[in-house]
C-alpha cells in the first residue's frame, strides 16, 4: 500500500465532489460564494477520508460512501464558520485565511453555516444506497452533530471559558465537540458498506481513540506551533482562557497519552485485512506537526 | 366537521410532541432551555398542522406524520431565532416575548438554532414510516429549508433591504423564504401518507397559494396591526426599508390578491373527500387579524 498516494487520491475524490456541489449550487450566487469560500479552503479532509476508507475496509466501494463523506465535511465546515463568529470564539483567521464573517459579514456567515448544515442532509438522502442505509446515516450524523454531540459540546466549551475545568470535564467537552463527528465518520463508512454491527463498533472505537489523540495533538500544537504553520493564532486557547489537557497535565504527559490512544486505535482494526491505510493514518495524525 | 375542535386537537398533538422532545432533551441543560424557550412559545403551529392534515386527507394516520410535523416546526423555529439575531433583522420581540438572543445571549441563540435544525433531521429519520418515505421526507425538507429555499430567501431578503424591489423580486423572495417551507409541509404530509404523485402535487399547489396569501396578509397586518396584537413591532418592515407588496400596490389590491389566492388554494383540494378542514383553514388564514 502506498499511503501517500492513497491519501492524495482520496483527498482528490472529496475535493472534486465538493467542488461539484459548489459549482451546481442551487441558491443565490452570493450565498454559494460564501459557502464555497469555507468549504473549499484546503482542509485536510480527515473526516471524509475516514468515511471513504472505513467503507472500503468493510468491502464497500468508496464511491457509495461519497455523499456521506461530503455531508460530513459540510457539517464540519459549518461548525467552523459558526464557531469563528464574533459572538462565539471571535477568530479572524482560519486555515491561514480570513474567517468567513471577516470576508462576507456576520449575517452571511450565519447563513452560509445554516446553508451547509441543511444541504448536508439533502445530499445524504440522495445517494445511491438503499433508503434504510441512508436513513441510518442521516440519524447517525444528526445525533453526532446535534445537541448531544457537537452543538452541545460547543455550549459546554463556551460555558467553561474563564474557569479551570477538571480533566474529565475537558474530556467530555472534546468527546462531544470533536470526537462525536469523528466517530460518526467511521460509522457512516460502515453504514455505507452495509457492515455488521461488530465491524461498525470496531470502526467507531478506532475513531474514538483517534479522535481523542487528534484533539490532544491539536492542543499541543496550539501551545507549541507557529502562527504561520497552524494558520490560526497560536496560544488562542490560552488567550480565551480555555482549559486544555496540555495546560492541566503538561506536554510530556499529553505526548504519552497521544501514543497510548494511537496504539488503541490501531489495535481495534489491525485484525481486519486491508486496514493498513487506516492504521497508518492514525499514526501519521499522532505525529503531525500542523 | 367541527373546524375549531379539530384545529385545537391538532395543535394539542403537536404541542405534546414538542414538549416531549424538550423534556427528553439529550444535550446540556442550558441548551435545552434555550431551544425550548423558542420552540414552546405558543406559535400557531400552522406548518405542522398542514403536515398532519394533508396526511389525513390522503388516508394516512396523522400520528405517522408527527415526526415530520415536529421536524418542520423545529426548522421554522430555528429560522426565527437566527433571523432575529442582531446581525440579521435585529429584533427584540417575537410572539410578544423577548427574542432568544435577548434572553440567552447571541452565542446561545446561534447554537439553539443550530441544535433545532440538526435535531429536526434526527427526528425525521426515526419515525415509524418505511425508510424510503423517511428519506424522501429528509430530502424534501432539506431542499425547502436550504440554499434554494428558506436560507436562500433570507439572503435575498437581506440583500434587498434599502432598495425598492419589483413585484417579481418580492414574490421570489417570499416564495423562497416563507413559501418553500409551507409547500414542504404539504408535501411531507403527502409523503407520510404514501400518496400518489397527483395527490402530492395538488397538496403542494394548495400550499403554494395558501403560503402566498398568508405572506401578503402578514404584510398587511404589519402595516395595519397593533404591536400588542402581533407581538412584534408594527411597521418593522418599513423601518428596515423592506419592500413589500403592500407598499408597492396598496392595501386594497393586496386584499383582493389574498382572496384570489385563497380561492385557488381551495380549488386544488375541493375535489378530495374530507378536504373541508384544509379548505376552511385557508379561508380562516386569509381573514386572520393577527
**Closest-CA residue in chain B for A33?**
B147
Nearest CB to A147 within list B115, B124, B138: B115
Instruction: Kindly report the three-state secondary structure assignment for every residue of B64-92.
Output: HHHHHHHHHHHHHHHHHHHHCCCCCCCCC
Rounded to two decimals, the pTM is 0.95
Instruction: Give the residue ranges of DSSP H helices in chain A.
Output: 3-23, 29-39, 46-57, 66-83, 100-104, 106-124, 131-145, 150-160, 167-174, 180-193, 197-224, 227-230, 236-239, 245-249, 251-269, 276-287
- Does the distance separating the beta carbons of A130 and B107 come in below 8 Å? no
**Distance from chain centroid for Cα B146:** 14
Q: Using a CB-CB distance cutoff of 8 angstroms, which residues of chain B are in contact with residue A132?
A: 131
For residues A165-184, one letter each, b for 16 or more C-beta atoms within 10 angstroms of the residue's C-beta and e for the rest, the string is beeeebbbbbbbbbbbbbbb
For residues B237-264, one letter each, b for 16 or more C-beta atoms within 10 angstroms of the residue's C-beta and e for the rest, the string is beeeebbbbbbeeeeeebeebbeebbeb
**Closest-CA residue in chain A for B81?**
A110
Environment class of residue A9 by beta-carbon count within 10 Å: exposed (0-12), middle (13-18) or buried (19+)?
Answer: middle
**Distance from chain centroid for Cα B85:** 19
Residue A159: CB atoms within 10 Å: 16
How does residue A229 score in pLDDT terms, banded at 50, 70 and 90? low
Q: What is the pLDDT of residue A230?
A: 55
Environment class of residue A86 by beta-carbon count within 10 Å: exposed (0-12), middle (13-18) or buried (19+)?
Answer: middle
Min distance B6 CA to chain A CA atoms (Å): 32
* CB A111, CB B176: distance < 8 Å: no
How does residue A243 score in pLDDT terms, banded at 50, 70 and 90? confident
Min distance B100 CA to chain A CA atoms (Å): 14
∠ Cα B53 B54 B55 (to 5°): 90
Q: Give backbone dihedrals phi and psi of A93, rounded to 5 degrees, phi first.
A: -125, 145
**Closest-CA residue in chain A for B133?**
A131
Give the tens place of pLDDT for each residue, A99-148: 999 999 999 999 999 999 999 999 999 999 999 999 999 999 999 999 99
- Rounded to the nearest 10 degrees, the angle between the axes of helix B29-39 and helix B106-124 is 80
Q: What is the pLDDT of residue A33?
A: 98
Nearest CB to A110 within list B88, B105, B132: B88
How does residue B243 score in pLDDT terms, banded at 50, 70 and 90? confident
What's the average model confidence in pLDDT over A24-48? 95
Q: Using a CB-CB distance cutoff of 8 angstroms, which residues of chain A are in contact with residue B82?
A: 110-111, 114
How does residue B230 score in pLDDT terms, banded at 50, 70 and 90? low
- Does the distance separating the beta carbons of A122 and B118 come in below 8 Å? no
Q: Using a CB-CB distance cutoff of 8 angstroms, which residues of chain A are in contact with residue B146?
A: 27, 115, 118-119, 122
Q: Is the pLDDT of residue B116 over 60?
A: yes
Nearest CB to A147 within list B31, B135, B152: B31
Give the tens place of pLDDT for each residue, A142-194: 999 999 999 999 999 999 988 899 999 999 999 999 999 999 999 999 999 99
Query: CA–CA separation, B245 vs B242, rounded Å?
Result: 10
How does residue A242 score in pLDDT terms, banded at 50, 70 and 90? confident
**Closest-CA residue in chain B for A156?**
B28
**Closest-CA residue in chain A for B136?**
A125
- Does the distance separating the beta carbons of A107 and B88 come in below 8 Å? yes
- Does the distance separating the beta carbons of A139 and B111 come in below 8 Å? no
Environment class of residue A83 by beta-carbon count within 10 Å: exposed (0-12), middle (13-18) or buried (19+)?
Answer: buried
How does residue A224 score in pLDDT terms, banded at 50, 70 and 90? confident
Q: Cell triple for residue A69?
A: 463523506
Q: What is the pLDDT of residue B244?
A: 86
Q: What is the DSSP string of A131-181?
A: HHHHHHHHHHHHHHHSTTTHHHHHHHHHHHTTSPPPHHHHHHHHIIIIIHH
On average, the pLDDT of chain B sits at 94
Q: Is the pLDDT of residue A59 over 80?
A: yes
Nearest CB to A126 within list B117, B120, B139: B139
What's the average model confidence in pLDDT over A23-43? 95
Query: CA–CA separation, B261 vs B214, rounded Å?
Result: 9
Q: What is the pLDDT of residue A235?
A: 60
Query: CA–CA separation, A202 vs A268, rounded Å?
Result: 6
Q: Is the pLDDT of residue B49 over 90?
A: yes
Give the tens place of pLDDT for each residue, A68-107: 999 999 999 999 999 999 999 999 999 889 999 999 999 9
**Does residue A243 come out as left (phi exceeding 0), alpha (psi in the -120 to 50 range) or beta?**
beta
Nearest CB to B155 within list A31, A126, A143: A31
How does residue A239 score in pLDDT terms, banded at 50, 70 and 90? low
Q: Using a CB-CB distance cutoff of 8 angstroms, which residues of chain A are in contact with residue B104?
A: none
- Does the distance separating the beta carbons of A114 and B113 come in below 8 Å? yes
Q: What is the pLDDT of residue A236?
A: 64
How does residue B28 score in pLDDT terms, banded at 50, 70 and 90? very high
Q: What is the pLDDT of residue A222?
A: 85
Q: What is the pLDDT of residue B231?
A: 60
Nearest CB to B147 within list A27, A88, A110: A27
**Closest-CA residue in chain A for B90?**
A107
- Does the distance separating the beta carbons of B139 and A125 come in below 8 Å? yes
Q: Using a CB-CB distance cutoff of 8 angstroms, which residues of chain B are in contact with residue A152?
A: 26-28, 31, 115
- Does the distance separating the beta carbons of A130 and B134 come in below 8 Å? no
Give the tens place of pLDDT for each residue, B167-191: 999 999 999 999 999 999 999 999 9
- Does the distance separating the beta carbons of B146 and A27 come in below 8 Å? yes
Q: What is the DSSP string of B122-169?
A: HHHTTSSS-HHHHHHHHHHHHHHHSTTTHHHHHHHHHHHTTSPPPHHH
Give the tens place of pLDDT for each residue, A251-269: 999 999 999 999 999 999 9
Amino acid at each position: 500500500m502506498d499511503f501517500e498516494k492513497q491519501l492524495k487520491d482520496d483527498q482528490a475524490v472529496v475535493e472534486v465532489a465538493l467542488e461539484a456541489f459548489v459549482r451546481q449550487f442551487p441558491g443565490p450566487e452570493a450565498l454559494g460564494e460564501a459557502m464555497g469560500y469555507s468549504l473549499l479552503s484546503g482542509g485536510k479532509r480527515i473526516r471524509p477520508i475516514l468515511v471513504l476508507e472505513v467503507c472500503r475496509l468493510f468491502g464497500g466501494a468508496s464511491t457509495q460512501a461519497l455523499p456521506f463523506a461530503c455531508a460530513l465535511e459540510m457539517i464540519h465546515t459549518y461548525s467552523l464558520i459558526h464557531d469563528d463568529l464574533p459572538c462565539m470564539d471571535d477568530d479572524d483567521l482560519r486555515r491561514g485565511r480570513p474567517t468567513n464573517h471577516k470576508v462576507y459579514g456576520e449575517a452571511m456567515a450565519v447563513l452560509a453555516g445554516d446553508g451547509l448544515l441543511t444541504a448536508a442532509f439533502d445530499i445524504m438522502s440522495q445517494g445511491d444506497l438503499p433508503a434504510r442505509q441512508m436513513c441510518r446515516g442521516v440519524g447517525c450524523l444528526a445525533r453526532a452533530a446535534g445537541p448531544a454531540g457537537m452543538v452541545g459540546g460547543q455550549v459546554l466549551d463556551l460555558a467553561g471559558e474563564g474557569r479551570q475545568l477538571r480533566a474529565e470535564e475537558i474530556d467530555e467537552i472534546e468527546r462531544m465537540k470533536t470526537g462525536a463527528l469523528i466517530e460518526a465518520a467511521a460509522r457512516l463508512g460502515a453504514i455505507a458498506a452495509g457492515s455488521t454491527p461488530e465491524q461498525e463498533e470496531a470502526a467507531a472505537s478506532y475513531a474514538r481513540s483517534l479522535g481523542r489523540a487528534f484533539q490532544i495533538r491539536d492542543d499541543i500544537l496550539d501551545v507549541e506551533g507557529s502562527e504561520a504553520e497552524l494558520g490560526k493564532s497560536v496560544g488562542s486557547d490560552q488567550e480565551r482562557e480555555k482549559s486544555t489537557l496540555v495546560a492541566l497535565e503538561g506536554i510530556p504527559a499529553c505526548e504519552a497519552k497521544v501514543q497510548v490512544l494511537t496504539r488503541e486505535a490501531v489495535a481495534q482494526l489491525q485484525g481486519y485485512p486491508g486496514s493498513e491505510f487506516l492504521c497508518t493514518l492514525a499514526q501519521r495524525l499522532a505525529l503531525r506537526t500542523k
